[in-house]
Structure 1
């Protein structure tokens, strides 16, 4: 073998090794994500959308339940809209030239309070609906009180788990000896 063919063989070998290492890494990461999604799906909470459960109910009860849940949602809607508006305003203030942490914190507090008020209205409406149902229907609809949304969490498992670390300060330059 000439030195040129050895160099080509070495380059091909390195390329294959890099490809193999990348493939193994990709399979490993994909496997971890799949295992995480499976674990998330086994957590307690809503296993299916509430509307699917409602659709399987007796038609007379189903229509009443739908109407009452929609009415509760419409009563809570202004609270959730106010929460989103306050959060958008806080984001806009954060991106402004001058940063006012007190104003941003107040807007975020207002957003949380509005969201809590809206959730309280939704839950009160759900309890009212549940109080009018038979024990079997109540048991079937009990998961509407759960705050866990399995589908959304399965799509974004890493976002909630990874806190953003602050940037580390640059190390001071060490004096050099001459």
Structure 2
């Protein structure tokens, strides 16, 4: 082989080895993070309400389900109003008639409607929990955890047993 061909093969071999070394280093550095993320995806976040109610006395579970449904239906107009106001605000920002004061007012209105709906749900939940025995109350109390955003960033704080 000619020396020029050998130099090209040597350079290609060095480049390939550097690429392999970089890939191995990246794998070692990020492996724990990927494994933790995968484990978190496999773990159930919490039992769905249907599972919680299935473990209860059927009469109590039915009463809880009915109360939660009635509460959700009563709060729905507030959440619908919040979504409508937010859609209007977004629509206004995308139009030629953009008015920052009006957008701010619509967003404030949306926030207040959402707060009213959330307050209604929470007050109804507390009133319902007050009617339950301790074991059932513990099971149903998970409805008070805030799920927040759907990407998992806004999680409820862990509760600790009293010392």
TM range (shorter): 0.7 to 0.9
Higher RCO structure, 1 or 2 (CA under 8 Å, sep 6+): 1
Question: Helix, strand or coil: the match of 1:99?
Answer: coil
Larger deviation: 118-127 or 24-33? Answer: 24-33
Matched, 1:114 2:113: yes
Does residue 26 of structure 2 align to residue 25 of structure 1? yes
TM-score, length-normalised on structure 1? 0.69
Aligned residues: 152
* CA 80–29 in structure 1, closer or farther in 2 if over 3 Å, else same: farther
Q: Name the residue aligned to 2:142.
A: 143
Unaligned runs of 5+ in 1: 40-45, 161-178
Aligned position for 2:6: 5
The alpha-carbon deviation at position 107 of structure 1 amounts to 1.2
* Alpha-carbon displacement from aligned partner over 1:70-116 (angstroms, at most 9, x marks no partner): 11001111111111121122222222235321111111111111110
For residues 78-157 of structure 1, what are the structure 2 equivalents within 5 Å?
Answer: 78-148=77-147, 152-154=150-152, 157=153
CA RMSD of aligned residues (A): 3.2
1:48 aligns with 2:59: no
Q: Where do 5+ consecutive residues of structure 2 fail to align?
A: 155-163
TM-score (norm 2): 0.75
